[in-house]
Amino acid sequence: MSKTRRIFCLTAAVSAIALAAAACGAPDDEGEDRGAVPDDATDCGNYEQYGDLEGETVSILGSIRDAEADEMMEAWSYFESCTKATIEYEGTGEFESDMKVRVDGGNAPDIALFPQPGLMSTFKDDLKPASDAVKELATEGWTEDWLNYGTIDGELYAAPHSSNAKSFIWYSPTYFSDNGYEIPQTWDELIALSDTMVANGIQPWCAGFESGGATGWPGTDWIEDIVLREGTDVYDQWVTHAIPFNDPQIVTAIDKAGTILQNNDYIYGGTDTISSTAFQEAGYPILDGSCAMSRQASFYGAMWPAETNVAEDGDVFAFRFPESNEGDNTMLVGGEFVAAFSDSEATDAVRQFLASELYHNARLQTGPWSTARQGVDPANATTPINQYATEILTDPAVTVRFDGSDLMPGSVGASSFWTGIVQWVDGDKTSQQMADDIENSWP
C-alpha cells in the first residue's frame, strides 16, 4: 500500500468522524404536533378557480427549512395535485445574499417569501406588483397595518404569509397561581410584580441574547416592544429613520428596558450572563421555578424541552407584553411576504392561493403555525400557543407593527443594532453611547 493511499484512507476516516460529529449536533426533526389533513383543502372543487395549470412550474425561494418547510409544502401539495401545477420550493439559510445574487444575475425565483419587508423594498425594480385578484384577497384578508408592510411607494407588492406574535412574555401558569400572582396589564404592574417576586426571594426574569452569528437579536425585540408602547408614531418614525436612532425618546426607551435587563436583582444568574445565554434555553429555568418570566416571541413555544406542556393550564404559557399607555392594544409581529418576480398566469394563481383563506386554514393544520389572515379559524392551529397567537393576530382591534430591525437597513437591523445591544447589556456602553453608535452606522 503506497503512502499516499494510506494518507487518503486516514483522511477519509477523519472526514467520516467529522460528518458523524456534525450529524450529532443537528437538531432533531420531530413529526409531532401534526394536525389532521384538512377536509376543505383536499377537495379539488375548491381549486377550480385556479384553472388547469398542467405543465406549469412555479419556483419559490424562502428562508423556511427542514420540518417547517415540509409542513408548508404539505399544505401546498393539495393545490399541486388539483391544478396539476408544480411548485418547486427552495429553502436557504442565506436568504439575503442568495436573493441578491439571484436577482442581480437575472435568475430570480418566480416567488420569494421575504422575512424582511425592508429587504423586499430594495428589489422594487424587479418585483411585479400584486394583480387585482391578489389585491382583492389581500384587502379582504389582512388589516391595513399588515398591508402597509407589503406596499412600496403606494403600490401593493406582496400579501403576508405566516405571522408570529412577538410581544409575548412566557411564564408558568401554575407558578403564578400557586403564589397568587396576577398577569400584569401595564408596565407599572409588571415592574411592581417583579419587585414582589424579588421580595419573595427569586430573580424574576430570565433572558438570553446568544444566537451564534446573530447574537443580540432577542435584545432588539425588547427595545422594539418598549418603543412601540411609547407610541406607534414614535415607533414608525424610529424604524423609517424620520427621527434619529439616538433621539431622546429612544434613549429613554432603552433606559426603560434597562430597568429590567440591567438590574442585577431581576435577572436570573446576573445581567452579565445575558449575552452568553443561548436564547433557545433562556426560558428553561421557568420550568423549575428559578425565574418567573422571559420575553420571547410565540415561536418559542416550539423550543421548550420535549415533555413540556405548553398550554394555558400547563407548565408554561405566554401573556402579552403589557402596555405603557392606557387604551393601547399593540402587538409586535414578524412574518413573511409573498413577492413575485414573474407575472405569469401560474405564478399569479399560486399567489392567489397563498393569500386565500383556504390555504391559511390548511396550513394551520399541517403543523405549528400562526397567521394574521382574517377569516381563519384559530382553533385549527395545532398548539394552544399558536391558537392564542392567531386569535390576537386576526383581531382587527390590535394595532400591529412589524419587527423594527427587519425594516431597518441590513447594516443596522442585522448588524450594528445586534452588536450595540450586546455591548449595552454587558455594561460596556450606556444607552446614549449605544444609540449614538447605531445612529452613526445608519447608511
Residues that bind another protein (CB under 8 A): 3, 6-8, 10-12, 14-15, 18, 21-22, 25, 94, 96-97, 100-101, 119, 122, 208, 210, 212-215, 269, 273, 275-278, 281, 409-411, 414-416, 418-419, 422, 437, 441, 443
For residue 157, give the C-alpha cell. 407588492
| 287 exposure class (CB count in 10 Å sphere: 0-12, 13-18, 19+) | middle
> In terms of CB distance, is 35 or 269 closer to another protein?
269
Q: Are strands 168-171 and 317-320 parallel, antiparallel or unpaired?
A: antiparallel
User: Do 237 and 435 form a contact (C-beta atoms < 8 A)?
Assistant: no
> In terms of CB distance, is 122 or 430 closer to another protein?
122
For residue 407, give the C-alpha cell. 425594516
Shortest distance (Å) from residue 18 CB to another protein: 5
> In terms of CB distance, is 15 or 57 closer to another protein?
15
Shortest distance (Å) from residue 28 CB to another protein: 14
- What is the C-alpha separation between 158 and 409, in angstroms, rounded? 19
- What is the C-alpha separation between 224 and 341, in angstroms, rounded? 31
The strand pairing partners of 310, in sequence order, are 316
Shortest distance (Å) from residue 280 CB to another protein: 10
Computed over its alpha carbons, how large is the radius of gyration of the chain?
A: 23
Shortest distance (Å) from residue 261 CB to another protein: 16
Shortest distance (Å) from residue 443 CB to another protein: 6
User: Do 268 and 203 form a contact (C-beta atoms < 8 A)?
Assistant: yes
- What is the C-alpha separation between 162 and 75, in angstroms, rounded? 13
Shortest distance (Å) from residue 386 CB to another protein: 28
Find the helix or strand (DSSP H, E) in which 165 lies: strand 159-165
> In terms of CB distance, is 6 or 84 closer to another protein?
6
> In terms of CB distance, is 11 or 107 closer to another protein?
11
For residue 354, give the C-alpha cell. 397563498
Which of 355, 361, 307, 358 is CA-nearest to residue 157? 355
Sheet of strand 293-295: strand arrangement: 293-295, 168-171, 317-320
> In terms of CB distance, is 179 or 415 closer to another protein?
415
The strand pairing partners of 332, in sequence order, are 401
> In terms of CB distance, is 46 or 419 closer to another protein?
419
Shortest distance (Å) from residue 58 CB to another protein: 24
> In terms of CB distance, is 275 or 386 closer to another protein?
275
Q: Cβ of 158: how many Cβ atoms within 10 Å?
A: 30
Longest dimension (CA), the chain: 81
> In terms of CB distance, is 147 or 422 closer to another protein?
422
- Give the distance, in angstroms, between the CA of residue 331 and the centroid of all CA atoms in the same chain: 13
Q: How many residues are listed for the chain in this entry?
A: 443
Shortest distance (Å) from residue 93 CB to another protein: 11
User: Do 149 and 142 form a contact (C-beta atoms < 8 A)?
Assistant: no
> In terms of CB distance, is 96 or 395 closer to another protein?
96
Shortest distance (Å) from residue 124 CB to another protein: 11
Shortest distance (Å) from residue 245 CB to another protein: 16
- What is the C-alpha separation between 335 and 113, in angstroms, rounded? 9
